[in-house]
């Protein structure tokens, strides 16, 4: 068997996330259907992680295995012809059998986009939130996220993860005109973690929560203490880091 990585991007609007679900459209299902049709064999695909309903990926990796010697450019072209416009294949390349799309990932980076002025063109790819925000205070709160911590306060309840400890190496807000961009990088993320962090940062930015109060939220290890989870359409999985890729 030969193992291949796929580098792709997708607009999450029409999908209920990456992972195959019984009665809902998913990105994984579309990729597996296209691969199986082109290669004329049943192909299963392993993704680098889950994304929730409506969440996008500007960079995503998946792997599959086949006995065939794949013609990479031809397969990429045919898959792009078959896939919906919301899914784009950027590259297909062979890897060693020990490289796993999910378990070999060393870090992941997410972006969250907020527009503070009404925009007629990107309202489906970012969240419109016009209320004034003090970005400096939000960035002070972000410094408290750095390092290894128990992030239970920012995790969806009743998940099956074995630990809620994650190591965040980057967390910051930047303003570009009327747009705010949140960037966060970690070795792993909990379910709903980024959207809950963003929602809590916004409370700091609006003056409803102090920076000291943000620390108290982290220490509480209680989802009830954190802010609301912001909408998924502003969230992007932006980068996956592997050794050798």
Active site residues: 52
How far out from the chain centre does Cα 117 lie?
A: 24
| Angle (deg, nearest 10), helices 211-220 and 193-205 | 150
**Dihedral sign from CA coordinates of 90, 96, 99, 101:** positive
**CA 133/CA 142 separation, integer angstroms:** 14
* N-to-C CA span, the chain: 21
Confirm if 36 and 43 have CB atoms less than 8 A apart: yes
**CA 82/CA 61 separation, integer angstroms:** 19
Task: Name the one residue in this structure whose structure tokens are 């590259």.
Answer: 91
Give the closest residue to 30 by CA, choosing from 90, 82, 102: 82
Burial level of 224, CB count in 10 A (0-12/13-18/19+)?
exposed
**CA 64/CA 70 separation, integer angstroms:** 11
């Amino acid at each position: 068997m030969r193992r291949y990585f796929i580098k792709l991007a997708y607009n999450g609007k029409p999908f209920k996330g990456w992972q195959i679900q019984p009665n809902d459209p998913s990105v994984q299902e579309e990729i597996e259907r296209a691969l199986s049709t082109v290669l004329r064999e049943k192909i299963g695909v392993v993704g680098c992680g889950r994304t929730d309903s409506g969440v996008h990926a500007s960079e995503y990796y998946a792997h599959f295995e086949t006995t065939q010697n794949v013609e990479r450019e031809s397969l990429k072209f045919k898959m792009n012809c078959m896939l919906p416009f919301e899914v784009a294949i950027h590259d297909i390349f062979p890897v060693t059998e020990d490289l796993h799309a999910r378990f070999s990932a060393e870090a992941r980076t997410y972006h969250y986009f907020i527009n503070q002025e009404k925009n007629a063109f990107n309202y489906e790819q970012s969240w419109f939130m016009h209320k004034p925000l003090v970005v400096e205070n939000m960035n002070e709160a972000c410094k408290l996220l750095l390092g290894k911590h128990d992030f239970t306060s920012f995790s969806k309840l009743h998940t099956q993860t074995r630990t809620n400890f994650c190591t965040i190496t980057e967390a910051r807000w930047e303003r570009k005109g009327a747009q705010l961009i949140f960037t966060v990088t970690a070795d792993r993320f909990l379910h709903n973690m980024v959207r809950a962090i963003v929602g809590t940062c916004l409370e700091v930015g609006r003056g409803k929560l102090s920076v000291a109060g943000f620390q108290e939220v982290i220490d509480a290890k209680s989802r009830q203490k954190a802010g609301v989870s912001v909408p998924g359409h502003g969230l992007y999985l932006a980068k996956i880091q592997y050794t050798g890729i």
